[in-house]
Amino acid sequence: MTTQPLAETVNRLNELKRIKGEAYGGPNPKATEAQHAKGKLTARERIELLLDPGSFQEVEQLRRHRATGFGLEAKRPYTDGVITGWGKVEGRTVFVYAHDFRIFGGALGEAHATKIHKIMDMAITAGAPLVSLNDGAGARIQEGVSALAGYGGIFQRNTRASGVIPQISVMLGPCAGGAAYSPALTDFVFMVRETSQMFITGPDVVKAVTGEEITQNGLGGADVHAETSGVAHFAYADEETCLAEVRYLLSMLPQNNRELPPVVQSVDPADRSGHALLDLVPADGNRSYDMRKVVEEIVDEGDFMEIHAAWATNVICALARLNGQVVGIVANQPASMAGVLDINASEKAARFVQFCDSFNIPLVTLVDVPGFLPGVDQEHEGIIRRGAKLLYAYCNATVPRVSLILRKAYGGAYIVMDSRSIGADIALAWPTNEIAVMGAEGAANVVFRREISTATDPEAMRQQKIKEYKNELVHPYYAAERGLIDDVIDPRNTRQVLGRAVAMLAAKSTDLPSRKHGNPPQ
């Protein structure tokens, strides 16, 4: 009896897979050409860009659906329209699933969902990040409720993985209806301009119900979600840049909530002096400046990754490294709305603080805030409960927390921006700091209203009282004298002092009261 060589058997198996794949409606050259004609890569091309070369290990490549009716029994391609597996990003394990738009338009059916459920379970068990490359047409209509149940399983696993492993959604095509809720449950959403859209109800439904006419991109394109809705954290012009930035983000994140973020050897001197800071930040609290330039001057090599850069621009949230250690930076942005806190800024910062706390990333808060934004709309839309989200997030955070007041820190906004009173481990300030219930001008008008109104020269009296208030209550050392500030530092030493503080707190340990979970403001 002759034994068939193993190599020949493998070759025959691969040929059989190719023939069957084409016969049962698998991706063919025309489908690939159509994908490329739209400016889109195929699912496998995307995985190759995301992962280290040669590291991808596919799971359940031979799975096919078992549905019958509506012509499905004659079209049973391998993979069932989703590619699942794991690989490496900079040598660390990452799990991934990618919709293959060339098969059933990437629509989700029972077998398709089962594959995704499995890879999500594997990611949670292995304690490694999960990246979804989304390019699908929603639920597979021909499979009815089975497809809907598949989405339910994904949502349940998204929630179970939340705060346990990093979850990143990369939108590379359409995502409509209930399918859009999975990305919304993950930590970060990336989108590509012109080719990716997200919405619950599409333009046709919107027109039928409301009479409004709008394009897919106008309703749920990358810039809409990056600038208006806040659904997308990042938006890029092409898939290659987008996937490169996903790799960069993963390089700064721990594998799971039991690990610390990766530390690298920094070539930027820890004691580098920041002379430029003296010119970047005007001493006059009424003058604007770009806080991004301050962040650049402080962090390693001026390099940071801003989260939600185009949404709620009056606050900056960013990941960066300080002496090789990953830190999360929250900073008011005086160049946008004077750095005031409003509804969107509060929610943006709150979720970022929660993310950093979930994954052991120290927080550095740069404060220059004149208060919360006043207005009827803000009050009616819930600035109280939404601002409380940021307060809750900071109070609940157990990671190392260092705050620095550059200039203004007024009223409730000062408290909310990680003040000593809500648990900051180290609270610092520049000599230009003004910590008070409100600005000296407003305070003088309230406290000395009678003296000013009865004075022979009301304006001269007002200026005198403003000066008195500043000298007594708003001078740079008032808070330090009362232990609310640990030190008033030379701005040029900011990088050095912050780096030392974060390093000192590296082994911080906090015991919280036993509870199932908190009930944060909604």
Out of 105, 178, 202, 423, the active site residue is 178
Amino acid, single-letter form, for residue 49: L
26 catalytic residue (yes or no): no
d(CA 489, CA 476): 11
Out of 144, 163, 177, 230, the active site residue is 177
Picking from 49, 44, 53, 134, the residue whose alpha carbon sits closest to that of residue 85 is: 44
Residues paired with 436 in a beta bridge: 410
3-state secondary structure 276-320: CHHHHCCCCCCCCCCHHHHHHHHCHHHCEEEECCCCCCCEEEEEE
Q: Which residues contact 288 (CB under 8 A, 6 or more apart)?
A: 334, 335, 338
Separation in Å, CA 327 to CA 252, 481, 511: 9, 29, 22
Q: In 10 A of CB 101, how many CB atoms? A: 24
Q: 457: exposed, middle or buried (C-beta count within 10 Å: 0-12, 13-18, 19+)? A: exposed
d(CA 177, CA 453): 62
177 catalytic residue (yes or no): yes
Out of 413, 429, 444, 479, the active site residue is 413
Token reading at 136: 């699908």
What is the full DSSP assignment across 344-381? HHHHHHHHHHHHHHHTT--EEEEEEE--BPPSHHHHHT
Separation in Å, CA 91 to CA 86, 169, 244, 261: 12, 21, 15, 14
Phi and psi at 47, nearest 5°, equal -65, -40
How far is residue 347 CA from its own chain's centroid? Answer: 12
Q: What letter does residue 275 receive in the DSSP assignment?
A: T
Out of 163, 274, 412, 423, the active site residue is 412
d(CA 327, CA 109): 41
Strand pairing report for 315-322 and 325-332: antiparallel
Separation in Å, CA 148 to CA 96, 153, 154, 199: 21, 9, 10, 17
d(CA 400, CA 398): 7
105 catalytic residue (yes or no): no
Q: Where in the sequence numbering do the catalytic residues fall?
A: 177-178, 412-413
